[in-house]
Structure 1
């Protein structure tokens, strides 16, 4: 008799491998799964040892799928997606209406929370699960839709443009008062709070200084891999942060953050709602998608 039903490896190793393959990053997979990169590496090595083939090629600081890894990832993605769709259909047949939406920590807290509050008032029978990640989502089987800064070409799903924003420098009210007429050189001399985002298209201080025709100052200040931690540091007067005016409107209107200096920059990317195609979305998911798009048009 087989030591395991269907002779499959443990599900934990398969789900960990799928996340690492989807992100092509152990670090980003760890962020999604809520574990350490070392734990992801351990699970992947255990799976490779069981299958007796390498699934990833380590190239400098990147990982790429081998032919066997790509084959396994394709099968898992197709299988997990089919399972997720079947579970969704079963839940709906049992009367449960559930939608899952993903967003970064800042988008979730500063924008999506208010949108969902309005949606729940009109549709109290629909349960909306939020998945928060600053490491991207890709074509995650358990996600119906997510908010992306810039188009996510890896997903292969429908992508609706939501809005473009304006990038500004923000800090505590005291710093804003001191830097009211600041030059770019003045900004460069301040302590900066950097977002170490996993997504390569995320706008950084390097982009900001380049757009204003000056070299980026030598690295100094604070770094964080969570956008709300970056904004919290700026609110606490620990340094200056880059932000999106429309997204940060609640913090600006409440006075917790303030604009530092007169400089502006058109956001290089817009925000998009990335969702499954209609045939893969439940009726509640389609309702939420339209609600989000309509809320932006009215806002």
Structure 2
């Protein structure tokens, strides 16, 4: 007689594996699950013993998934996401006519919120929740999708490319006029407003100068942890901010900020819409996703 109706291993072993595989770290999985790394390792060894095959390749500085591990991760990620969405619907006691979308605070203020307002004009009965935070979106099954610069490390998430931006120094009109045609050496000596964020995919001032071939020093005199604050300081002539040209297009169009030419860099990464695959999204979530993609592609800068 089977000891389990679905012939599944203990769910604790599957949960430990999924977290460790998603993070590619037993330590990070242990933090998420509020257990010790040893407990995570024990659960995974038990699962590997039951399946009769290794799921991880143990390396000197971490772990990687075997082919079997990748297959299991994809299956569990899809299944856990569906379970989470079903439980959310049951808790709310309604059918899913709500969409939750995430972004950084700057993306929300400068791009996403205005786009959602336009979407609401066409679909006023659909509820859209926004979650804005300036740190990576991890372990948020309540979010249908989020806007991200660069690819997310979670292999189970679906990535839809949106656009590639251009990076250019921006300043107040007065300061920008003084720096017209300035060399990279002159720009590096200005007060540069550096963005300090947990998400290291964002291009920094040091990255920007290096990609343009500048080998001199790039002093760090001013740090902020919010891109919106960086733009505000630049508007007040407190220094130069690194402008994501398409993202801040409304501020450039109104000349609240002005590009300091001629130096410009194509962003190393694209912006993506990241989240569950379309077949796991509600009709409402798919409608908003389609709207965002079509609006981005219809807009040129």
TM-score by length of 1: 0.73
CA distance in 1: counterparts of 2:97 and 2:269, whole angstroms: 33
**CA RMSD in angstroms, aligned pairs only:** 3.9
- Using a 3 Å threshold, how does the CA distance of structure 1 residues 45 and 106 change in structure 2: closer, same or farther? closer
Deviation at 1:115, TM superposition (A): 1.0
The residue aligned with 2:195 is 195
Separation of aligned partners in 2, 1:54 and 1:225: 34
* 1:221–1:239 contact (8 Å) kept in structure 2: no
Partner of residue 175, structure 1: 175
Greater Rg by CA? 2
Unaligned ranges ≥5, structure 1: 1-17, 30-43, 56-63, 66-73
Task: Tell me if 1:282 matches 2:271.
Answer: no
Match of residue 125 from structure 2: 125
Give 3-state SS (helix, strand or coil) of 1:237's partner.
Answer: coil
Q: Deviations over 1:40-87 (max 9, x none)?
A: xxxx699458x99699xxxxxxxx89xxxxxxxx9x988974553114
Cα distance, 1:214 vs structure 2: 1.4
Match of 2:297 in 1: 297
- Spell out the pairing of 1:215-294 with structure 2 (5 A cutoff): 215-294=215-294
- Measured after TM superposition, the shift of residue 132 of structure 1 is 0.8
How far 1:88 sits from its partner (Å)? 4.2
Between the aligned partners of 1:268 and 1:245, the Cα distance in structure 2 is 14
The structural deviation recorded for 1:98 is 0.8
Identify if the C-alpha distance between structure 1 residues 23 and 198 changes in structure 2 by more than 3 Å, giving closer, same or farther: farther
The answer to whether the 8 Å contact 1:97/1:284 transfers is yes
| Distance (whole Å) between structure 1 residues aligned to residue 33 and residue 154 of structure 2 | 27
Sort the Cα spacing of 1:283 and 1:228 in 2 relative to 1 into closer, same or farther, 3 A: same
Q: 1:207 to 1:250 in 2, by over 3 A?
A: same
Displacement of 1:183 in angstroms is: 1.0
Do the aligned partners of residues 218 and 268 (structure 1) sit closer, same or farther apart at CA in structure 2, a change above 3 Å counting? closer
Contact 1:81 1:142 in 2 (8 A): no
Task: State the alpha-carbon separation in 2 of the partners of residues 127 and 276 from structure 1.
Answer: 19
Identify the range of structure 1 (214-223 vs 169-178) with the bigger mean alpha-carbon deviation: 214-223
Structure 2 residue runs of 5 or longer lacking an equivalent are 1-18, 42-61, 64-72
TM-score, length basis structure 2: 0.73
Tell me the secondary structure at the aligned position of residue 232 of structure 1: helix
Equivalent residue number for residue 163 of structure 2: 163
Report deviation, 1:155. Answer: 4.6
| Local SS of the residue matching 1:273 | strand
Contact 2:189 2:218 in 1 (8 A): no
Residue 22 of structure 1 contacts residue 139 of structure 1 at CA under 8 Å; is this kept in 2? no
> Is the CA contact 1:139–1:156 (under 8 Å) kept in the aligned structure 2?
no
Q: How does 1:1-299 map to 2 (within 5 A)?
A: 47-48=34-35, 81=81, 84-90=84-90, 94-95=94-95, 97-138=97-138, 140-299=140-299
